[in-house]
Structure 1
Amino acid sequence: MAEYFNGVKPSDGFYVKSNYNYTHVHQDILISLYTPLIGTDAIGVYLYLSQFNFHNETEAYNHYTIMNDLKINLSSFRDSLDLLEGIGLLKTYFKTNQEEQTFIYMLEQPATTEQFFNDPLLSVFLYQQIGKSRYLSLKNRYKDSSISTSAYHEVTKSFTDVFKVPKLSEIEQQDDIQIKPDVKNKGLDLSDVRFDFEMLELLLNNHLISKEILNKQTKEVIIQIATLYGITPVEMKSIILKSITENQTISLQDLRKHARSIYQIEHEGELPTLDLKKESVKAKQNDAKQEVDSLLSWFELLDTTSPIEMLASFTKSEPTISQKRVVEDVVTREKLPYGVMNILLQYVMFKNNMQLPKAYIEEIASNWKKLKLTSAEEAYHYIKNLDKQTAEKKKERNNKANNTFKLKSIEKTPEWLLKQKSAETPKEEQKNNESDAAFEKRKQELQKEMEAFWKEGDH
């Protein structure tokens, strides 16, 4: 739908809706926790839009109103919407007809303080943005300092202890009135993030750990952590093994802690930052540039897709158990990046009639690990250069073979042999001619054998 948003016009109408009842608590969370992440402009747009929801307007406003009230152009407004959508505070809906196009801006409830500080992405990004001192200050600000009830016994009376229960027939049903539900924030939308849980389950199975340990909540946290720190199933397996409790469950707190420690070790103590994606405007200027971008997108896809998923998509069938085992063993042992492994598997399939010989894969994987290939693009260009060198060597060998036969065929006949031929009888001359014909035939057969030999040597 992005193409419609880019074409929004000042005269386009819009409505504002909300899925919760806004309070001063939400405003405090927006200002103190969300503003450091997406800035005052985006939060200002959110608060500005909320006024239209309060009045339950039945007629659409147009975007001239926004431009005039906020003194901004539609491009800046769209930038703020992108930030609000990405952080999970707003959803945009679009409808068009021949006469006009209309938008609905759905305001989403901010995360509660508990949700925010327990969310691996939001909490880490906030920490990295504002620093340790300010982060701890905000966290202590929302700390529950009330008296604990754990040492007390509850003596509260229930509803039926106090009130008479009315009969259903006495209650007048009002089904035509709908009360707005107040829902909790659903967190950041990571529904488009793909993580290879199938490979993770295979890796854990090697350590006699059942896949049942990966319940729904654990999988959600794994996706969050994997997105935040760029963790592969192989690395996630090691983190999970460190996070298993005595009760054979996964401690989500330890899972986050170990993942954070590994990332900081590899990045000199730094944590991930919340960076924006920058789209290339020039990518659509000409066909040649689009081809390059298409290839780069293919590399990016290979770098982020697990080898098993790639095999299923590439062959349009579910990989066999033995194929999965081969991939798992090579990935575990050689620790090749996804992109490199995917290029390797495709290369082997092309060379072996869509088969995956284990020994051949292991040999190439070992060699590529020594070459320190780090991405699909590097592996792709390495193969292209290798094929080019092989083709040049083949051409050179064929030229040498052809020149050898040509030299033999144009070699000058010695004078003594000419004299001997002139003295031979016609019968003997015929015999020699037959011998020459046999030699020529044998020469041609030998040439074909050598050409076949070189062809075999190229495979």
Structure 2
Amino acid sequence: MHWKEILPSNRYIAYMSYNWNTSDHEVLTLLYQPLIGSLAYSLYMTLSLDVQRQPSKKVERTHKTLMTSTGQHLDHIFSERKKLEAIGLLSVYREKIEGEFVYYYHLHPPMDASGFFNDDLLSVFLYNKLGSKEQYRELRQYFSVEEVNTGDLENVTQGFNQVFTSIHPSEMRSTTPDMLEMLSSSSPLAGRKASDSHYNFAEDGFDFQQFISYLPSFIPKAEIENTKNQRLIYQLAFMYKLKPEEMAHLIQDAMLHSEKLDADQLRIQAKRRYRMNEQDEPPRLGLRIQPEELKSQAGPPQTQEDKTIQYFETTAPIEYLEELSDGARVYEGDIDIIERLIFEYKLSPGVVNVLLDYIFMVNDKKLSKALAFKIAGHWKRKKIKTVKEAMSLAKKENQKRQTFQEKGDRPSYQKKSSSSAQVRKEPLPKWMTDNNWKKEEASEQELEKAKKEAAKYREMLRKKKQQKEES
């Protein structure tokens, strides 16, 4: 949770080293906002406009002020801030002064449109986020310019020394110490560096040294380790989910006849390998598992409840949905539901797993969009952040549901047509129905029995599915 790291009373110093222009606003709104969402976009705009109003391009405030100006709770600000960091719009530093942390927020300019569309990661994720080739083409067309071919034209541009003359010696004699001091000043000035707009990759996401160890001796290591090529390798490994050994094979193929790394050839090889494994499924941008600050487990799991919580926290929702579907490929519409639960309803991945498990059990193994969003809206209003909170609320909802069923009534989001008079009872997960299971560690015999029951249940579902297909 945010309170472990940041408090409303903590001060922050926001600053930037560039001047805002119209193009920045267009790129942020049209290109960055679909990726980071409206809240992160609003946070960046709030910080940058506050800084821009200051002559020194620097401002000091408390996070309480930021909460007031954005209308957001601090936990929301904290989670949205991380998106700005990840995409390269913000760098965060801190120091401890008199027992409290002071944060430094260095705001970076967005990439220009050319850099964004030429970026291997951002362009692909924008395309998939928009979900339409026409929309993507329309955006790209908006930022495109028509170049004029000057190859056959005569260049009559005047050179600097053709227009200006050098300083006359008499002018040099009028130089004063103040003038020399001003001309030689090294104080920082507003301006942009090419690296200002770059997002970074955490080194623990891809083991670069292990990747290097897989390369054969004929590959020049210096060519691979230069900054530009390293960044490309990190990008492709992230986007196409490549392991160090797989990336080493791609590098070999791309450098088979040359000592220079052909970036375009490496991209082609990476796409080809990805398509062989994933068919036509495009790479997607999204949170994979429960963020560290929202995890409940501090150590190894001791009880069955701990193990279930750990499982929900360390499994991506799409992977969990595959398991619920007996390993079948997840339907595109279901993936869209999961993404909306995470990005629109702001549910953490672990909480989404609990929600999926609950819906599958109460809705005859069907993932209903309306039901998912109805429950998600309720959980969001209840400020459910952790797996433990979600499981606790799901138990209460299930108890209410059973009470409604016994009385012949049901919650509004679970009502069916009047023709469905019979109430169908679905088997529920043990974490929802058994209050004793979390108190002590299960024995080996109990675990073995549970595995057999689970296998038996999966077989029953498989037979039902087969019967439906045959009928």
- TM-score with structure 1 length normalisation? 0.56
One of 297, 300, 320 as aligned partner of 1:283: 297
| Corresponding residue for residue 261 of structure 2 | 250
- The 5 Å alignment of 1:41-440 reads 41-56=39-54, 60-98=60-98, 100-131=100-131, 132-166=133-167, 170=175, 172-174=180-182, 175=185, 177-184=187-194, 185-192=196-203, 193-196=205-208, 200=212, 203-205=215-217, 208-211=218-221, 213-214=223-224, 216=226, 217-244=228-255, 249-276=260-287, 277-279=289-291, 280-284=294-298, 288=302
- What is the DSSP-based 3-state SS (H/G/I as helix, E as strand, rest coil) of the residue aligned with 2:104? strand
Distance 1:152 1:59 in 2: 50
C-alpha deviation, 1:147, in angstroms:
1.1
Is the deviation greater in 119-128 or in 37-46?
119-128
Aligned-partner Cα distance in 2 for 1:246–1:139: 35
Cα–Cα, structure 1 residues 45 and 212, in superposed 2: closer, same or farther, change >3 Å? Answer: closer
CA distance change for structure 1 residues 176 and 114 in 2, over 3 Å: closer, same or farther?
closer
- Kept in 2: contact 1:12–1:101 (CA 8 A): yes
Work out whether residues 206 and 244 of structure 2, in 8 Å CA contact, stay in contact via their aligned partners in 1.
Answer: no
The aligned amino acid for 1:76 is H
Distance 1:198 1:42, change over 3 A: closer
Note if contact 1:199-1:233 (Cα within 8 Å) is conserved in structure 2. yes
Secondary structure of the corresponding residue to residue 181 of structure 2: coil
**Structure 2 CA distance, aligned partners of 1:45 and 1:60?**
16
Matches of 2:222 and 2:60 in 1, distance apart?
Answer: 50
The AA in structure 1 aligned to 2:297 is A
Cα shift at 1:52: 1.9
Rg larger in structure: 1
Cα 1:10–1:262 change in 2 (3 A) is same
The Cα offsets for residues 78-98 of structure 1, whole Å up to 9 and x where unpaired, read as: 111011111111112223333
Question: Take 1:68 and 1:31, find their aligned partners in 2: how far apart are those partners?
Answer: 23
Question: Which secondary structure state, in structure 2, belongs to the residue aligned with residue 282 of structure 1?
Answer: coil
Residue identity in the other structure for 1:53: V
> What is the CA–CA distance in structure 2 between the aligned matches of 1:237 and 1:128, rounded to whole Å?
27
Quote the Cα distance in structure 1 between the aligned partners of 2:42 and 2:153: 45
Compare the two structures and name the one with the higher helix fraction: 1
Measure how far apart 1:61 and its partner are.
1.9
- Name the counterpart of 1:399: none
Amino acid at match of 1:232: K
Tell me, in whole angstroms, the C-alpha distance in 2 between the residues paired with 1:30 and 1:222. Answer: 26
Q: How far did residue 126 of structure 1 move?
A: 1.2
CA contact (8 A) 1:201 1:211 kept: no
Retained in 1: the 8 A contact 2:43–2:80? yes
TM-aligned CA distance change 1:97 to 1:178, over 3 Å: closer
Q: Report deviation, 1:4.
A: 8.0
- Superposition deviation, residue 210 in structure 1: 4.0
Q: Go from structure 1 to structure 2 and tell me whether the alpha carbon gap of 1:39 and 1:261 turns closer, same or farther (over 3 Å shift).
A: same
For structure 1, the residue ranges without an aligned partner over 5 or more in a row are: 301-459
Deviation at 1:60, TM superposition (A): 2.6
Query: Whole-Å Cα distance in 2 between the matches of residues 105 and 212 of structure 1?
Result: 34
State the shift of 1:59 in Å: 6.3
- Please report how far the alpha carbon of residue 118 of structure 1 lies from its aligned counterpart in structure 2 after TM superposition: 1.9
1:11 paired residue number: 9
Distance 1:189 1:124 in 2: 17
Distance 2:242 2:95 in 1: 39
Q: Is the 8 A contact 1:204 1:211 kept in 2?
A: no
- Structure-2 separation of matches of 1:234 and 1:281: 31
Q: Which amino acid aligns with 1:60?
A: E
Mapped contact 1:195–1:223 kept (Cα < 8 A) = no
Cα deviation for residue 186 of structure 1 reads 4.3
Paired letter, 1:12: N
| Residues 20 and 183 in structure 1, CA contact (< 8 A), matched pair in contact too | no
Work out the CA distance in 2 between the residues paired with 1:287 and 1:246.
Answer: 52
Between the aligned partners of 1:249 and 1:153, the Cα distance in structure 2 is 36
Distance 1:124 1:266 in 2: 18
Letter paired with 2:274: Y
* Contact 1:19 1:183 survives alignment (8 Å): no
Match of 2:70, as an amino acid? L
Q: 1:211 to 1:135 in 2, by over 3 A?
A: same
SS in 2 for 1:102: strand
- Structure 1 residues 11 and 237: CA distance shift in structure 2, 3 A: closer
Contact kept? 2:254, 2:262, Cα under 8 Å: yes
Letter aligned with residue 190 of structure 2: K
Alignment of 1:24 with 2:10, yes or no, is: no
Q: Please report how far the alpha carbon of residue 32 of structure 1 lies from its aligned counterpart in structure 2 after TM superposition.
A: 0.8
Distance 1:246 1:51, change over 3 A: same
Scaled by the length of structure 2, what TM-score is found?
0.55
Contact in 1 for aligned 2:214/2:248 (Cα 8 Å)? no
Q: Residues 154 and 212 from structure 1, CA distance in 2 versus in 1: closer, same or farther, beyond 3 angstroms?
A: farther
Structure 1 residues 150 and 218: CA distance shift in structure 2, 3 A: farther
Per the alignment, do residues 96 and 212 of structure 1 end up closer, same or farther by CA in structure 2, a change over 3 Å counting? closer
Which has the higher mean CA deviation after the structures are superposed, 242-251 or 156-165? 242-251
CA drift of 1:15 comes to 2.1
1:100 is displaced (CA, Å) by 4.3
Over 3 Å counting, the alpha-carbon distance change for 1:227 and 1:25 in structure 2 is same
Specify whether residues 83 and 212 from structure 1 end up closer, same or farther in structure 2 by C-alpha distance, changes over 3 A only: closer
Aligned-residue RMSD, C-alpha: 3.5
Deviation at 1:141, TM superposition (A): 2.4
Asked if structure 1 preserves the Cα contact closer than 8 Å seen for 2:2 and 2:75, the reply is: no
Cα separation, 2, equivalents of 1:287 and 1:98: 38
TM-superposed CA distance for 1:263, in Å, is 1.0
Shift of 1:292: 7.9
Letter in 2 for 1:49: L
